[in-house]
Structure 1
């Protein structure tokens, strides 16, 4: 490929949660497809993701002004709006230097707004299902941008109801994988892995166990952390954990959750609002661990009830406890069949190679159109 090809990729996070890892995979896909391209990456700040980006990016630019955070908007609305305008102006001057502009997640609002009118091929990777009001606002922003859209699930696409391509996330698991074979003579282990926030359902699970008032034979491990300013969520989790008769561990964020997947018998994804995709569920499948998930959003595109996991009514504590009891009652052979089915589902549909190929194939037409537009523009300038 020509060295004149230039790509900019904007991301909203600096850690290594699901959207961060999917962003790295998209970056890797474009680097493999276009090895000689200049690929600049914009991150809000330095963090664990940098070590994974640096090997593929030509340059890393740090700019946090264009990322919309709900808590900051509520606390400092005027300052937030001023920062967004400054970021929008910066992106407006930056984007004409690139032939493709990729924005990861809709909270990068300044970058999305700046896509309007750019000669570059542009697209936004939509990974959220916001509340009804927020969804209307983001939908208007996406329409305004005129960018091509990629959704992480059919559920996300349905929520926004705008034309676009659906590409399910994929994951890569390093090292040997041992499909789970839970012994019958110990307490079953349930892991909840990922960002701690009000809608991810960590509090819901502990409230359900606390409500039960008797010992359900499970050992629960919660792995993850909160955004700054939401530390009260951790305080509440720890207080509720003390009221549970079950053993409950609460651990912080880790950039390598493999040991926690290997520890678990089941992964729990208890989202109380529609889950856009549920990347942690396919990570669990990659490790051969069945999933207990809320039947909401993209999780229904991953988990088949009774085959590779169990589904329960979102936000329904009684139904959640019923499903957990159903999982604990499985025979050794039935559990082994479910664990194998989970692993096979990952291999057939959710590998990182499948995801990367789909991203690169989707972006390619935009790149081709953009390069032709740049060539026409250059020819017009030469003939003036």
Structure 2
């Protein structure tokens, strides 16, 4: 069987890396997989190493830039070109099944249905903060899909609250995250040593990077010598947010205590160096970084929101805090800084739980069964 997988990005963040695991699962199931992406990037060699062939073909991806009269005209023009390119690719690949790896490229669902080929949409989004017309525009095309896979109950609930009938064809498959080959023991921090905080994720208001900076400022005001390392680049169009973050980090109460590392190819090394990992997202359909922190056996503080609340059991495998609340986040940081025994217990329990629930091999088997079923 030849599968065509449409993916919106050549980057290597959460849903991108999850696609690599999807390809591995499909390849292990004996399928020939072709992945089409709109441009070249660091994801491509990872997909090829996982067993896929890769096609680079420019196609539009739904972004906020299209939500204007001029933007809609640009989208319509891009789609006119897309239909021609997609037809050429289809004739070359001749897939017998299609996987669309997001809700933001619904035209691939239309292409598959027009060719009378089964199509599965893997949903990595949970846009419950968007106006209902936007949610409806993103969700309604899924009615054309043969079946839908959501990466969390939160993602499924957003779909079914928007279009109720989708509940009958949507299955939840939790992401599978490869753990480290061996766990590096956490350091025994001495009283004179700074508390190392790490945040891995795109520089975006959704990821709550600004909340982490304010929480850092608060814990430092309380007399805790803490430092923050931020791993991640900015989404195109959000350069203003990075400027705001850097400006805030240069203020006197934070100056010299925040490092912006940009994109980090191997964030596992940063997690190994962390005393506490922060995932302060305002919106998070799943949260691969949270699982990576648990698998690295590092104490985790995450927002009590969407998929993160499904990953972390508060007080048992990590700490959950109110999204957007810097004081609540600072309280949790202070709690772990003052109680290293609690931090170690949470980290140990978190690793065991993550290995059981979010293992990569379990995911590969489940996602292959859903796509091929």
Is TM-score (shorter-chain normalized) higher than 0.5?
Answer: yes
Distance 1:277 1:209 in 2: 25
Unpaired stretches in structure 1, ≥5 consecutive residues: 366-384
Task: Give the secondary-structure state (helix, strand or coil) at the position aligned to 1:54.
Answer: helix
Alpha-carbon offset, residue 77 of structure 1:
3.2
Match of 1:243 in 2: 251
Candidates 277, 281, 298, aligned match of 2:286: 277
Task: Give the secondary-structure state (helix, strand or coil) at the position aligned to 2:206.
Answer: coil
* Aligned pairs (5 A) from 1:299-314: 299-314=308-323
* 1:105 maps to 2:68: no
Candidates 189, 194, 200, aligned match of 1:183: 189
* Aligned pairs (5 A) from 1:335-350: 335-350=343-358
* 1:207 maps to 2:217: no
Q: What RMSD in Å do the two structures reach over aligned CA positions?
A: 2.1
Alpha-carbon offset, residue 347 of structure 1:
1.2
Task: Give the secondary-structure state (helix, strand or coil) at the position aligned to 2:207.
Answer: coil
Alpha-carbon offset, residue 100 of structure 1:
1.1
Alpha-carbon offset, residue 146 of structure 1:
2.9
Is the contact made by 1:106 and 1:124 (CA closer than 8 Å) also made in structure 2? yes
How many pairs were matched up?
Answer: 356
Is the contact made by 1:10 and 1:42 (CA closer than 8 Å) also made in structure 2? yes
Alpha-carbon offset, residue 95 of structure 1:
5.0
The structure-2 alpha-carbon separation of the partners of 1:203 and 1:84, relative to structure 1 and needing over 3 Å to count, comes to farther
Alpha-carbon offset, residue 56 of structure 1:
4.0
* Aligned pairs (5 A) from 1:288-367: 288-330=297-339, 332-365=340-373
Whose radius of gyration is greater, 1 or 2?
Answer: 1
Is the contact made by 1:88 and 1:113 (CA closer than 8 Å) also made in structure 2? no
Distance 2:203 2:106 in 1: 23
* 1:264 maps to 2:274: yes
* 1:80 maps to 2:89: no
The structure-2 alpha-carbon separation of the partners of 1:58 and 1:343, relative to structure 1 and needing over 3 Å to count, comes to closer
Q: Which moved more, 1:60-69 or 1:154-163?
A: 60-69
| TM-score normalised according to structure 2 size | 0.89
Match of 1:381 in 2: none
Unpaired stretches in structure 2, ≥5 consecutive residues: 161-165
Q: Which moved more, 1:173-182 or 1:39-48?
A: 173-182
Distance 2:90 2:299 in 1: 44
Task: Give the secondary-structure state (helix, strand or coil) at the position aligned to 1:255.
Answer: coil
Match of 2:163 in 1: none
Distance 2:51 2:131 in 1: 36
Task: Give the secondary-structure state (helix, strand or coil) at the position aligned to 1:289.
Answer: coil
Task: Give the secondary-structure state (helix, strand or coil) at the position aligned to 1:79.
Answer: helix
Match of 1:33 in 2: 29
